[in-house]
Amino acid sequence: MMITANITQESGASLPLDGEVDTRHGPILYLEDVSVSFDGFRALNHLSLYIDDGELRCLIGPNGAGKTTLMDVITGKTRPDTGEVFFGQTIDLLKMDEPAIAQAGICRKFQKPSVFDALTVFENLELALKTDKRTWPTLFSKLNGEQCERIQEVMLLIGLAGLKNQLAGILSHGQKQWLEIGMLLMQEPKVMLVDEPIAGMTHQEVERTAELLLSLQGRHSIVVVEHDMEFVRSIARKVTVLHEGSVLTEGSMDEVQNDPRVIQVYLGG
């Protein structure tokens, strides 16, 4: 695996792990019996979830089902009260903080597009670029030809090549969403967590996003949280329904949509 090899080569010392993400024995992301509560409110309730290597998984569920909290737990933003979260077989994510998890290869796109408004499109991508992210190397860093090409490539992919030197702050909502997906790609992640990627996009943009995500699966494991069922249907092989902090059901879109419990939750709840 080329990407895993890159991790070991480039970020050696600053990474808390040595060696590859071990996915020989099954899932790349492994959540077991995870619970999180805020002041009495259980956001996640003994949730267990397994994401396979290279899989594109969609997470759906009504508001408050715990989708965003789940992402917070995986990326280290929120510490669960109980449970285990593993990246591959060997990497315990609960022992790592956000930057370490990000460097290990789990990257995230936020619900609200989070790009750096005061920086240009190019600079946004440059910051995301997978490279040595310690302070002194960052101070003296210079882009080499290969890295520039990589940025160029991603800009083309997300359709922002013409806006290279524009400040990200003046982009449209949809463009910001893409820029953020582009930043995700720059990090060459093993796992991409994508929270509501198509909010604010036009119909064409939605289609292109679906294409993009589909083209990425296999190379990356992707978890998409989305409300738009149409979109989910267009990309998902396997769908997980969350409800009140636990997994309600899992399966193909058709299976899920016909599950009486799901119908109950979405319509009768």
Partner 1 sequence: MNFLKQDKTYASVLMALAAVTLIIPFCNLITSADSPLHFSAYSVSLIGKYLCFALLGLSLDMVWGYAGILVLGQGAFFALGGYAMGMYLMRQIGTRGVYGNPELPDFMVFLNWSELPWYWYGFENFGFAMLMVFLAPGILAFVFGWLAFRSRVTGVYLSIITQALTYALLLAFFRNEMGFGGNNGLTDFKDILGFNIQSEAVRSMMLLLTGSSLIGALLLCRWIVGSKLGRVVTAIRDQESRVRFLGYRVELFKLWVFVFAAMLAGLAGALYVPQVGIINPSEFSPLNSLEIVIWVAVGGRGTLYGAIIGAVLVNYAKTVLTGLMPDAWLFCLGGAFILVTLLLPDGIVGLLHRRIKPNLTLNASGEQPA
Partner 2 sequence: MTTNHFENDLKTLPISEPVAGSLRRNGAVFKSLLPQTWATLWLMFFLAFCVNAAAQETADTLPQPLEQLRIGSMAEREQAIEQLGEDGRNLKLLQALQDGQLMDWKADSRLVIASESAKGYNLRDPFDGKAVLADVERDAVGKLNLTNKLRSVLRKAVGGLQLNADSADMRLEAVKAIAKDADDKALQMLRKRLEKERDAAVLAAIQEALWLQDINSDDKPARLAAIEALKNINNQSAYNRLRELAEPDAVADPEVAAQAKAAVKKIESRLQNYAAIETVFFGLSLGAVLVLASIGLAITFGVMGVINMAHGELMMLGAYTTYVMQQLLPNYLGTALILSIPMAFLVAALVGVAIERGIIRFLYGRPLETLLATFGVSLFLQQSVRSIFSPLNRSVSTPDWMSGSWQINDFLSLTWNRFYILVFCLLVFTALLQILKRTKLGLEVRAVAQNRGMAKAMGIPTARVDAMTFGLGSGIAGVAGVALSQITNVGPNLGQAYIVDSFMVVVFGGVGNLFGTLVAGFSLGIANKFLEPYAGAVLAKILVLVFIILFIQKKPRGLFPQKGRAADG
36 forms beta bridges with: 44
CA angle 144, 145, 148 (to 5 degrees): 90
Query: Tell me, what DSSP letter sits at residue 94?
Result: G
Q: Which of 18, 38, 135, 139 binds partner 2 (CB under 8 A)?
A: 38
Dihedral in degrees, nearest 10, Cα atoms 141, 145, 150, 152: 100
User: C-beta of 43: minimal distance to partner 2 in Å?
Assistant: 8
Q: Which of 157, 161, 167, 229 binds partner 1 (CB under 8 A)?
A: 167
Q: Decide which of partner 2, partner 1, none touches 41; Cβ closer than 5 to 8 Å per partner kind.
A: partner 2
- Pick between residue 34 and residue 236 the one whose CB is nearest to partner 2: 34
How distant is the alpha carbon of residue 85 from its chain centre?
15
Q: Which of 119, 145, 205, 147 is nearest to 10 (CA)?
A: 147
Amino acid in the structure at residue 62: P
Select from 54-62, 96-104, 195-203, 208-216 the region that touches partner 1 (CB under 8 A). Answer: 96-104
User: C-beta of 24: minimal distance to partner 1 in Å?
Assistant: 25
Determine, following the binding rule CB under 8 A, whether residue 18 of this chain makes contact with partner 2: no
Q: Which of 123, 109, 107 is nearest to 168 (CA)?
A: 123
Q: Which of 10, 22, 42, 77 binds partner 1 (CB under 8 A)?
A: 77
**Euclidean distance between the first and final Cα of the chain, in Å?**
45
Determine, following the binding rule CB under 8 A, whether residue 39 of this chain makes contact with partner 2: yes
Query: Tell me, what DSSP letter sits at residue 158?
Result: T
User: C-beta of 1: minimal distance to partner 2 in Å?
Assistant: 36
CA dist 171 to 74, 108, 123, 212, Å?
29, 20, 14, 20
By CB under 8 A, what part of segment 71-100 binds partner 2? Answer: 78
Determine, following the binding rule CB under 8 A, whether residue 146 of this chain makes contact with partner 2: no
Contact residues: partner 1, CB under 8 A: 14, 75, 77, 97-99, 102-103, 107-108, 110, 114-119, 123, 126-128, 130, 133-135, 138-141, 167, 169-170, 183, 187
Contact residues: partner 2, CB under 8 A: 38-39, 41, 43, 78
